[in-house]
């Protein structure tokens, strides 16, 4: 059973944004980050880790409680990495173990490239690195279709195209509950920011493989055990091959940390014990 650990919540002013973040527990610093996933998505996992670690979670800039001064500015992996560097430095608790999932995995990789001294171990869990795949032109074209569909006002259609491109299969009743029902203003604002200002710069981001290979940080590529044939399994395998490392399997699928936090926490502790 997951034990809830009440986080201490804070705001940190950074250039162009006001970052919401939460801190739990004591011990070595672990950062859990997503994009567009917010801090709430990682709360069950953070609670489980807080008995051994100081756990930092945050809303990425422009999402939920992390406000930005200019909502027309794109959120790039480099910009989000700079935010993360400022948070770690502000806490004065590094170097950190940083686990990023999906777009957050790009954030963590960009952080290693820019500030390896702030990261002891970086776990990039299913980064959407479309640029590493041979069919990237087709993937980029379909991503542009998703963005255009959303901006035309068809939120449900955009999410259907997104899941189809990602090769993520979801029962229709679950899809309807998540995307087709009544949604609050914050969810709609986050959706717009994700589609208009995060999706393109994230999926077109190209990692500096030389910097990642030579960094003092240990880089781990994570893949969900149940992510077979999904797009982010393909991109993760491509990154691992480019870095000449063996991918590390974690429980669940693309968001296994949220669906199965207990088994994910157990596996994460095993991985870190081998570091």
The reply to whether 63 and 120 lie within a common domain is yes
pLDDT of residue 274: 86
The reply to whether 232 and 256 lie within a common domain is yes
Q: Which of 196, 218, 238 is the last residue of a domain?
A: 196
- 3-class secondary structure per residue, 42-108: HHHHHHHHCCCCEEEEECCCCCCCCEECCCCCCCCHHHHHHHHHHHHHHHCCCCEEEEEECHHHHHH
The reply to whether 129 and 90 lie within a common domain is yes
In a domain, 1, yes or no: no
The reply to whether 85 and 41 lie within a common domain is yes
Number of domains in the chain: 2
Are 66 and 18 within 8 A, CB to CB? yes
The reply to whether 129 and 48 lie within a common domain is yes
In a domain, 62, yes or no: yes
In a domain, 2, yes or no: no
The reply to whether 126 and 186 lie within a common domain is no
The secondary structure of 100-139 as a DSSP string is EETHHHHHHHHHHHH-GGGEEEEEEES---GGGSTTHHHH
Are 232 and 133 within 8 A, CB to CB? no
pLDDT of residue 2: 43
pLDDT of residue 4: 53
The reply to whether 251 and 165 lie within a common domain is no
Nearest Cα neighbor of 25 from 49, 59, 58 is: 49
Nearest Cα neighbor of 23 from 4, 5, 2 is: 5
Q: Which of 144, 177, 196 is the last residue of a domain?
A: 196
Give the C-alpha separation, 99 to 258, whole Å.
Answer: 13
Q: Which of 196, 223, 247 is the last residue of a domain?
A: 196
In a domain, 3, yes or no: no
The reply to whether 53 and 114 lie within a common domain is yes
Per-residue tens of pLDDT for the chain, all 275 residues: 345 568 999 999 999 999 999 999 999 999 999 999 999 999 999 999 999 999 999 999 999 999 999 999 999 999 999 999 999 999 999 899 999 999 999 999 999 999 999 999 999 999 999 999 999 999 999 999 999 999 999 999 999 999 999 999 888 888 888 887 778 899 999 999 999 999 999 999 999 999 999 999 999 999 999 998 899 999 999 999 999 999 999 999 999 999 999 999 999 999 999 86
Are 43 and 60 within 8 A, CB to CB? no
pTM for the structure as a whole: 0.95
Q: Which domain covers residue 49, as residue numbers?
A: 8-133+205-273
The reply to whether 73 and 111 lie within a common domain is yes
Token pair in block for residue 72? 């027309």
pLDDT of residue 181: 76
Token pair in block for residue 216? 């003092």
The reply to whether 44 and 121 lie within a common domain is yes
Token pair in block for residue 220? 């781990």
The reply to whether 249 and 157 lie within a common domain is no
């Amino acid at each position: 059973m997951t034990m809830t650990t009440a986080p201490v919540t804070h705001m940190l002013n950074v250039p162009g944004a006001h970052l919401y973040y939460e801190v739990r527990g004591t011990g070595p610093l672990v950062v859990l980050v997503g994009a567009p996933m917010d801090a709430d998505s990682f709360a069950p996992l953070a609670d489980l880790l807080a008995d051994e670690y100081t756990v930092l979670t945050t809303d990425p800039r422009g999402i939920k409680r992390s406000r930005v001064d200019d909502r027309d500015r794109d959120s790039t992996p480099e910009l989000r990495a700079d935010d993360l560097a400022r948070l770690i430095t502000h806490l004065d608790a590094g170097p950190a173990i940083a686990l990023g999932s999906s777009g957050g995995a790009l954030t963590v990789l960009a952080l290693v490239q820019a500030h390896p001294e702030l990261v002891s171990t970086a776990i990039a869990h299913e980064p959407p690195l479309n640029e590493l795949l041979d069919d990237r032109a087709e993937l980029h074209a379909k991503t542009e279709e998703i963005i255009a569909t959303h901006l035309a006002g068809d939120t449900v259609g955009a999410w259907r195209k997104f899941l189809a491109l990602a090769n993520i299969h979801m029962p229709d009743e679950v899809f309807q509950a998540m995307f087709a029902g009544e949604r609050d203003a914050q969810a709609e604002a986050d959706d717009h920011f994700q589609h208009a200002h995060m999706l393109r710069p994230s999926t077109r981001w190209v990692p500096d493989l030389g910097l990642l290979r030579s960094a003092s940080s240990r880089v781990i590529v994570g893949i969900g055990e149940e992510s077979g044939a999904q797009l982010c399994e393909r991109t993760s395998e491509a990154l691992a091959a480019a870095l000449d490392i063996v991918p590390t399997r974690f429980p669940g699928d693309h968001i296994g940390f949220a669906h199965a936090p207990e088994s994910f926490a157990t596996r994460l502790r095993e991985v870190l014990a081998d570091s």
